[in-house]
Amino acid sequence: MRRDIFQAIADPTRRAIITLIALHAMTPNNIAEHFDTSRQAISKHLRILTECELVKQEQKGREIFYSLEIDKMKEIDEWLEQFKKIWELRFNQLDNLISTIKNVKK
């Protein structure tokens, strides 16, 4: 079963993991140190993020390092872009309304 990336980022722990590994790759143990949960729970979150292709694994010796898959994050950004445009339009309309009200009061 292929998981949906939006289901993956819906979980706050997974979003926090993405934030942690955004700057540099980390091992599951390094990641787990930042959470008040079991190593197994972190592994489950990492598995889901990997299945969604939001993170990638790289074997270095005996360790597995997880890093962020930037291209997949772009997919999220592109989806959000449509809402950014709507919000920007509405804020501009609000700015215009406020300006109009201020001018009427003068």
Res 105 pLDDT > 80: no
| pTM metric for this prediction | 0.76
In the chain, which residue ranges form alpha helices assigned H by DSSP?
Answer: 5-9, 12-21, 28-32, 39-51, 70-105
What percent of the chain has a predicted confidence (pLDDT) above 70?
97
pLDDT of res. 104: 84
Burial 18-33 (b: 16+ CB within 10 A, else e): bebbeeebbebebbbe
- Encode pLDDT of 3-49 as tens digits: 788 889 999 999 999 999 998 999 999 999 999 999 999 999 999 99
Q: Which of 75, 76, 66 is nearest to 26 (CA)?
A: 66
Distance in Å from the first CA to the final CA of the chain: 63
Residue 3's pLDDT is 74
- Let me know: does 25 contact 46? Beta carbons within 8 Å: no
For residue 103, the model assigns a pLDDT of: 85
Percentage of residues in the chain with pLDDT exceeding 90?
62
Q: Which residues contact 2 (CB under 8 A, 6 or more apart)?
A: 51, 52
Tokens 């091992």 sit at which residue?
27
